[in-house]
Amino acid sequence: MLQDNDSDNGQAHALIALGSNLSSAAGGPAETILAALTMLGELGVKPSVVSRLFKTPCFPAGAGPDFVNAAASVMCELSPNDLLTMLHLVESRLGRVRETRWGARTLDVDLLAMGRRIVPDAETFRRWADLPPERQSVGAPDRLILPHPRMQDRAFVLIPLEEVAAGWRHPVFGLTVAEMARNLPKSDREAIKPL
């Protein structure tokens, strides 16, 4: 299980979240996530630990069918921006079209963290992490923000992530994944069901 390590043999530990609520060429949402993990491995981004698949309520509510979500710890030698480009390539290959923020999608692969890096800086991270919910749905950062500025609020991210990186400590908030998951409302945690 991943703890706080930033690197191992020159490779960086990265944490990613995967979600799907539409079918792709690979099949239904579960098959799409498994295909994405295989593609990443073929591209040199090797998943070292993968969570179970979870059925999760659509976010935001009413935006489409329920999701299948998972999380993984991956090893790579890429920069954060190059890894994000690779994740977007996999999304595209599996039919992701970016039309509506938080809309239904064949695949969403989010880069949650790379070790304890804060990208681009703590001030920018805080600005996006503190963004009011009504503004989150209409605005998106124009650059990569690490750690992912909303991960601490989302059960569909933290419950799967707890299976692969319970001890990873958030470099801004100082909380582990397990602690952030425990801080979520009980109803949010209980809505996340293993497949």
Is omega for the bond preceding 60 within 30 degrees of 0, making it cis? Answer: yes
Tokens of 51: 């969570």
The active-site residue out of 105, 121, 127, 143 is 105
| Active-site residue flag, 189 | no
The active-site residue out of 6, 66, 93, 96 is 96
The active-site residue out of 110, 121, 127, 182 is 110
DSSP string, 72-103: EEEEE-S-HHHHHHHHHHHHHHTT----STT-
| Active-site residue flag, 130 | no
| Active-site residue flag, 96 | yes
The active-site residue out of 6, 8, 108, 142 is 108
Distances (CA, A) of 87 to 4, 43, 82, 84: 22, 10, 9, 5
Q: What CA dihedral angle connects 112, 89, 99 and 195, to 10 degrees?
A: -60
Residues 6+ apart with CB under 8 A from 141: 128, 149
Residues 6+ apart with CB under 8 A from 99: none
| Active-site residue flag, 117 | no
So which residues are the catalytic ones? Answer: 96, 105, 108, 110
